[in-house]
Amino acid sequence: MTKGLRDVAIVGIGATDYYKRGESWPRTTTEMACEAILNACADAGLSVKDIDGFAYYSGASAGYGDKMDTADFMENLGIDEVTFTAALTSGGGGAAGSVGLARAAIVAGDATVVVTVMALQQAKQRLGSVFAAAAPNPINSFLQPSGLSGPGHLMSVLARRHMHLYGTTRDAFCEIALTERENAQTRPKARFRGKPLTREDYFNARMIAEPLCLYDFCQETDGAVAVITTSLDRARDLRQKPVPVVAAAHGGRREWGRAFAWMGMPDEYFASAGNKPIADRVYRQSGLTPQDIDVALLYDHFSPMVLMQLEDYGFCGRGEGNDFVLNGNIRYSAKPRPGQIPVNTHGGQLSEAYIIGMTHIMEGVEQMRGTAINQVEGAQHALVTGGPASLPVSGLILGRDA
């Protein structure tokens, strides 16, 4: 099958250990990012000196309190020259799209080997309370008096609207949390490996931002992940089986972009993950449909957003996510039945680690290499998403090399 772009491929993936927030100190984001980059180079069979491009997201920020700087990486890693360095704006919504940014540089001839990296160190500022910690400004002045102190509080409002419109239940959110926790039990580096979750645990957990309880929230972790992209022709000469980029898109509608923080969007967007325009683009670009996707790595900073992305990406209809999830359709199976789509087979941000979406790209690569721990047999296409978050949100379809 040769549908889609297939002109670049991911050839290397690397990560550090994952830590509970703050526990990586005194390690810095730069140190951990460099370790992840070196590990990705070793995985690919490349020298770090082969890197000539950096494609970031989140505005090249490492969380909300630190920055990643290309010059620092060059100095620390001994990279003599780069010919491309750029970042997608805003937050974690650009995670999947950063690989598309790397592709743009390679196809344009601006770089040959491009690394995307994210690192987190939360000893000074945790991500879960960033809005409360920020200085007042015209946007924060709407949020802070309402008690919307972090991303989870914002998402709780969207979740409540979905429940109101479609009868969605906390049972579905519970099923998402239980599914991902079960998937994490086989992952050696998962933060919640060896800590099974039960339905009773979920419903007895403390409420953080109603209707979202403790287990609806992703972890707050430290660590770093890097992925390396190059041309497909070059990729075929390297150590690992190439994982072609079949489709990549980022962006979104104004109605979603303004309302993530302002809550002023119409219902079409309010009770959604804002990914429908991205879904339309990656399917059109690839020539694929939801039925062609074998495994979905959906950005899961909060469990209801997984349900809404299932709707946005067409695995079920709008308002049908509750029943789709409760019918066991997102559970891992090595040989999924028709209509089933294994979701976040690595445990996701809820149960493996939260590195702002990068672990999802790693899992997509492993699934397409056929080396994933929870491998979907014969998988030909993996969907990876970024967001919902302030625009851009993004989507990425990875495939197997022909």
Give catalytic residue positions. Answer: 299, 354
Quickly list H helices, 108-196: 130-133, 140-143, 151-166, 170-184
**How far, CA to CA in Å, does 290 sit from each of 95, 169, 185, 276?**
21, 24, 28, 12
Pairing status of strand 84-87 against strand 295-297: unpaired
Q: What torsion do the CA atoms of 116, 307, 400, 2 make, to the nearest 10 degrees?
A: -110
All residues at 6 or more sequence positions from 141 whose CB lies less than 8 Å from its CB, including other chains = none
Contact call for residues 107 and 8 (beta carbons, < 8 A): yes
> How many whole angstroms separate alpha carbon 355 and alpha carbon 21?
11
DSSP 106-155: HHTTS-SEEEEEEEE--SS--GGGHHHHSPP-TTHHHHGGGT--SHHHHH
Q: Estimate to the nearest angstrom the gap between the alpha carbon of 261 and the chain centroid.
A: 20
Q: Give kind and range of the element (H or E) at residue 33.
A: helix 29-44
DSSP structure string for 227-269: EEEEEHHHHTTSSSPPEEEEEEEEE--HHHHHHHHH----HHH
SS3 61: strand
Distance CA 78, CA 300 (A): 35
Stated as kind and residue range, the H or E segment containing 393 is strand 393-399
Q: Give the Cα separation of 300 and 351 in Å (integer).
A: 10
